[in-house]
A and B are shown apart, each in its own frame.
Chain A
Amino acid sequence: MATLQTFYERMFFIRRFEESLLDLFSLGKLVGTTHTYIGQEANAVGVIEHLDPDRDVIFSNHRCHGHYLAFTDDAFGLLCEVMGKAPGVCGGKGGSQHLCKGNFYSNGVLGSIVPVATGIALAEKKKGTGAVSTVFLGDGTLGEGVTYESLNIASLWQLPVLFVVENNHYAQSTPVELELAGSIAARGAAFGVETAELDTTDVDMIHEAAGQAISRIRETSAPYFLVLNTYRFSPHSKSDDQRDPAEIEERRTRDPLLVAGARLADDERSAIEARCEERLAETVEAADAAPAAQPEAA
């Protein structure tokens, strides 16, 4: 059972990792794109604490760094991948959105990943591994039809899939009110899938709800639909943000780091943060020094 200290450390490290990516972009050390997870860290940390990296499987989306770090703790492999360095976890071929390591996968087309996670669940069920296949969606993904085909199949065939919908209230720049009709939770329920919805940035509460969801899946081998209402503080990608700054400021008062950090003693929190900063600095230095990915000699 992980402690609040551990949760805080993981969340803080993800936060600082993502902020560093934006800094590295401005320094010209990154090219391409990134979709940072800043503000949503409690979801990844709270849910993934219940998953076993040697057995369970995650399929994540374009905003995958938080999930990847929480599951694999491989900051160097991820940073190198995003920086186009040879030691990157996919040799620089995947970049920010297309990661694979052990039982972790991500891909960059919304919705596309949901049936694949469903097929993974079927394979694991047939193999009898007891694995849970977790797929992270967002509110934007709910616009894609394959999401519903997959919910139908997962329920029909009783597959151990955890659908985690991180509703950060924006599909790129489009507010959820302009992209979604009806209730999100009702979408799971409509397919006969057990559903829970949370509206919190408290990692302990998310951890508890995810624990119940995953226990249910392990017990029944049936899917579960977990809706986490959340918010990202950073732009969709890098500088594409037209949201009302007042809205962002209001959301920042519920920053998952503030919520969890308030329960830690000041010196404890500072020590954790210093440890993360040191590890991050070492990671950035090592990745920066690593050789760039090169085409194989013909």
Chain B
Amino acid sequence: MSVPQKRCVQVLNEALHEIFASRADVYLFGEDILDPYGGAFKVTQGLSDGYPDRVFTTPISEASLFGVAAGMALRGQRPILEVMFGDFIALGFDQVVNGISKFREMYDDQVMVPLVVRTPMGGRRGYGPTHSQSLEKLLLGIPNICVVAASECHDLRALLTHAVEDDGPVFFIENKLMYGRVNRRPDDGHIGELAVRESSGPYPALTFSGTNFAEASATVVTYGGMVPVVLDAVTGLILEHEIFCEVVALSQLLPMGLDAVYESVGRTGALVTAEEGTLTGGFGAEIAARVQAAAWSDLRAPVQRVAARDGIIPSARPLEDAMLPSVHDVVEAIAALEGVRQ
């Protein structure tokens, strides 16, 4: 590797420092973000010491803080709200559904609401039912917001910088396991053994291929914390069974743009969706609906969905493991596609 690789938490932290250094209109709100503690997951470390006038450690009042951030944004500032656990966005939903997402359109474009809500989603740490969820799908039904999901293979610095520069509200979804992992960026067009293409735009999709984008057996579309799980599954299939799949790792979940998926399905003819949230009414359901409408003639099999069971995420690790989608579940879903054979 020619580039020294940093852990994701460090990349995000450095990006925040750069953003604060370059813009005077950026503010940060969150619980327990003061140094030396620097936030529950340490993403905001050093900011309160560096920018004490623009970093606010807050009461435990998420419902109100979403509104405070909205008020700041309406008046020309660029607030970043850190929500300690993704599960807690539920407390702010009124502000998101009835204010933040509506102000610009219902006020006939007289205002902008440039705010960023940063929050970590995801399980596999034994935190139990209310500190482990992946709730992105609840956001996907809200018009006029942008939902960005960071993964360990994306340019995290660029994603976060674009989110802050966005003139509309952005949910910036991080992942708890991602923080401690290396931010793996393409080196000479590859991550590991897979060739990688990156789409254009502020929140690109990454497409991974084991055949250098020649024909392959299936496409798996995923995001966030499921990216390494899916890459493990696809790499295993290549090594053990010589089944070659493509992986599309989206970073922009909403507004949903699936050009990279359509292109990939054009080469593979089959699609699996993989998400860590619960199955019903999710990311995979929306993508399946869109892909069957837009690329029906490319598909030779029904779309398969991999997701968490429709239930709670138990605390005990063996129970949690059984609930959340695994490498094995992804392999099974690919195998279940008609026409995919060993």
Q: Mark A51-63, 1 if CB is under 8 A from B, else 0.
A: 0000001000000
Residues of B contacting A123 in the complex (Cβ-Cβ under 8 angstroms): 71-72, 74-77
Shortest distance between the CB of A114 and any CB in chain B (Å): 7
| Stretch touching chain A among B53-61, B167-175, B232-240, B273-281 | B53-61
Bound: A119/B114 CA distance, A: 13
Asked if B99 and A149 sit within 8 Å, CB to CB, the answer is no
Bound: A105/B105 CA distance, A: 13
Residues of A contacting B75 in the complex (Cβ-Cβ under 8 angstroms): 57, 119-120, 123-124, 127
Residues of B contacting A107 in the complex (Cβ-Cβ under 8 angstroms): 98-99
Asked if B71 and A93 sit within 8 Å, CB to CB, the answer is no
| Stretch touching chain B among A150-158, A243-251, A284-292 | A150-158
Interface size on B, residues (CB 8 A): 34
Name the interface residues of A103-126: CB closer than 8 Å to any CB of B: 105, 107-109, 111-124, 126
Name the interface residues of A232-266: CB closer than 8 Å to any CB of B: none
Q: Mark B93-112, 1 if CB is under 8 A from A, else 0.
A: 01100110011011110110
Bound: A227/B110 CA distance, A: 31
Bound: A122/B55 CA distance, A: 12
Shortest distance between the CB of B96 and any CB in chain A (Å): 11
Name the interface residues of B139-197: CB closer than 8 Å to any CB of A: none
Asked if A116 and B108 sit within 8 Å, CB to CB, the answer is no
Shortest distance between the CB of A291 and any CB in chain B (Å): 15
Task: Find A90's partner among B64, B71, B110 (CB 8 Å cutoff).
Answer: B110
Asked if B61 and A153 sit within 8 Å, CB to CB, the answer is yes
Residues of A contacting B69 in the complex (Cβ-Cβ under 8 angstroms): 119
Residues of B contacting A119 in the complex (Cβ-Cβ under 8 angstroms): 67-75, 79
Asked if B107 and A94 sit within 8 Å, CB to CB, the answer is yes
Q: Does A146 contact B (CB under 8 A)?
A: yes
Known A107-B98, A112-B94, A116-B99; contact A93-B106, beta-carbon cutoff 8 A: yes
Shortest distance between the CB of A292 and any CB in chain B (Å): 15
Q: Does A100 contact B (CB under 8 A)?
A: yes
Known A107-B98, A109-B94, A123-B72; contact A150-B67, beta-carbon cutoff 8 A: yes
Bound: A57/B74 CA distance, A: 11
Bound: A123/B99 CA distance, A: 17
Q: Does A98 contact B (CB under 8 A)?
A: yes
Residues of A contacting B99 in the complex (Cβ-Cβ under 8 angstroms): 107, 109, 112, 116
Asked if A120 and B74 sit within 8 Å, CB to CB, the answer is yes
Q: Does A145 contact B (CB under 8 A)?
A: yes
Bound: A98/B67 CA distance, A: 16
Bound: A107/B67 CA distance, A: 12
Q: Does A192 contact B (CB under 8 A)?
A: no
Shortest distance between the CB of A51 and any CB in chain B (Å): 16
Q: Which residue of A lies closest to B58 (CB)?
A: A153
Q: Does A91 contact B (CB under 8 A)?
A: yes
Residues of A contacting B107 in the complex (Cβ-Cβ under 8 angstroms): 90, 93-94, 98-100, 105
Residues of B contacting A100 in the complex (Cβ-Cβ under 8 angstroms): 103, 106-108, 110-111
Shortest distance between the CB of A279 and any CB in chain B (Å): 25
Q: Does B203 contact A (CB under 8 A)?
A: no
Residues of A contacting B27 in the complex (Cβ-Cβ under 8 angstroms): 126
Known A90-B108, A153-B64; contact A116-B94, beta-carbon cutoff 8 A: no
Residues of A contacting B11 in the complex (Cβ-Cβ under 8 angstroms): none
Known A93-B106, A94-B107; contact A121-B94, beta-carbon cutoff 8 A: no
Known A98-B107, A100-B110; contact A116-B58, beta-carbon cutoff 8 A: no
Asked if A90 and B106 sit within 8 Å, CB to CB, the answer is yes
Asked if B71 and A149 sit within 8 Å, CB to CB, the answer is no
Q: Which residue of B lies closest to A126 (CB)?
A: B77
Bound: A57/B98 CA distance, A: 20
Bound: A124/B75 CA distance, A: 7
Asked if B71 and A122 sit within 8 Å, CB to CB, the answer is yes
Asked if B98 and A149 sit within 8 Å, CB to CB, the answer is no
Task: Find A118's partner among B71, B103, B108, B110 (CB 8 Å cutoff).
Answer: B71
Residues of A contacting B53 in the complex (Cβ-Cβ under 8 angstroms): 126
Bound: A153/B63 CA distance, A: 12
Task: Find A115's partner among B56, B67, B76, B103 (CB 8 Å cutoff).
Answer: B67
Residues of B contacting A93 in the complex (Cβ-Cβ under 8 angstroms): 105-108
Residues of A contacting B253 in the complex (Cβ-Cβ under 8 angstroms): none
Q: Which residue of B lies closest to A114 (CB)?
A: B67
Shortest distance between the CB of A145 and any CB in chain B (Å): 7
Bound: A153/B65 CA distance, A: 9
Bound: A266/B72 CA distance, A: 48
Asked if A117 and B64 sit within 8 Å, CB to CB, the answer is no
Given contact pairs A112-B67, A127-B75, enumerate 15 new A-B contacts (beta carbons under 8 Å): A90-B110, A93-B105, A93-B108, A100-B110, A107-B99, A108-B98, A109-B98, A112-B94, A113-B67, A119-B70, A119-B71, A123-B76, A126-B53, A150-B64, A153-B58
What are 19 A-B pairs with beta-carbon distances under 8 A? A57-B75, A90-B108, A93-B105, A93-B106, A93-B107, A94-B106, A94-B107, A100-B103, A100-B107, A100-B110, A101-B110, A105-B74, A115-B95, A116-B99, A118-B71, A123-B72, A126-B27, A146-B94, A156-B59
Residues of A within 8 A of B (CB): 57, 89-91, 93-94, 98-101, 105, 107-109, 111-124, 126-127, 133, 145-146, 149-150, 152-153, 156-157
Closest 8 CB pairs of A and B: A119-B71, A115-B67, A149-B64, A123-B75, A100-B107, A119-B68, A149-B61, A120-B71
